[in-house]
Amino acid sequence: MQLTHRLSGALLGLVVAAGATTATTATAPAAHAAPPVAHVAPVQAAPAHAADMPAVLAPAAHVIDATTGRVHFSKEADLRRPVASLTKMMTAYVVLQRAEPTDKVEVTADDVRYASAGGAAVAHLRAGDTLTVENLLYALMLPSGADAAHALARAYGPGVEEFVAEMNATARRLGMDDTVYVNADGMPYGGGGHSTARDQVRLAQAVLENPTLEKVTSARYHMVPATSEHGSYSWRNTNRLLGTPGALGVKTGFTRAAGYTLAFAADRGESRLVGVLLGESDSSRRFQTAGALLDWAAAAVQQ
């Protein structure tokens, strides 16, 4: 939320102490460009409820009320950074533009080999198993399976390169002008791509508007009984916010380049709060910070 007057010295000191450095506007992305060097953000006005704002140590963050459009918190929201497995939100979103949840995809040896060769998180899919798109989305979003990402991108590009091109085209359509994808899983191949906290919040909103994806991202566990087409599977969500009031997911991520990332959301009262943290150095702290931001923003809605 931006006021038209400049902060007073006292309020500015309060905002800096709370870690609430606000966003800047980045220049348009070049294809496969690496994130630029961090820059100094211009000072913007703090929310009216800044006095009890949680400390946010992550380098970039953005939290909004998706119901009203109100920005509750913004810190370097337009700074381009790698986002790791938050990339899989776009993979899931694009798949459901092209497929039905009941469609089926056969897992190939290439899907399994691709994921295991890069050291990515996997859903332990088995070559030769045929799974529904919905079950592959659970494999993609809960354990963050790069094998599921490869299988879906290969099937619905058709071909991974074509699928990634559609990811970038979809980003433009969603207004994510500071986002470039180079693969379907967020691993640092080919430079790893980049996005911003603001763009990823916009994507998380779009993901949660799809009933299938809202159901998937909100699931703490998912089990797939064995059938004649596939073996049994059991996946646990890596998002430790699930189980807290109103939590909806959305996605976790980590690479050395990106640090720990988190897209999070919760329905609180009449509001849907959506946020993103990028570049956190501590895995547990990202969940603690997100929970504190959700509580703080929800309290502000009641004011």
Does 160 reside within a domain?
Answer: yes
> Which residue numbers in the chain have pLDDT < 70?
1-51
Other residues' Cβ atoms within 10 Å of the Cβ of residue 70:
16
Looking at residue 196, its pLDDT comes to 98
Looking at residue 36, its pLDDT comes to 41
Residue that has been written with the tokens 């809605």 in this structure: 301
The pLDDT tens digits for 201-243 are 999 999 999 999 999 999 999 999 999 999 999 999 999 999 9
The pLDDT tens digits for 257-300 are 999 999 999 999 999 999 999 999 999 999 999 999 999 999 99
**Domain enclosing residue 86, as ranges:** 9-16+23-301
Q: What is the DSSP letter of 189?
A: G
| Longest distance between any two alpha carbons in the chain, whole Å | 69
- Report, as residue numbers or ranges, the catalytic residues: 85, 88, 144
Is residue 97 within 8 Å of residue 170, measured between CB atoms? yes
Does 3 reside within a domain?
Answer: no
Which residue type does 116 have? Answer: S
| Overall number of domains in the chain | 1
Does 53 reside within a domain?
Answer: yes
Looking at residue 51, its pLDDT comes to 67
Does 188 reside within a domain?
Answer: yes
Does 114 reside within a domain?
Answer: yes
CATH (domain of 191): 3.40.710.10
Does 110 reside within a domain?
Answer: yes
Does 271 reside within a domain?
Answer: yes
How many angstroms separate the CA atoms of 222 and 239, rounded? 13
Does 2 reside within a domain?
Answer: no
Task: List C-alpha distances in Å: 85 to 10, 13, 74, 205, 291.
Answer: 39, 35, 21, 17, 20
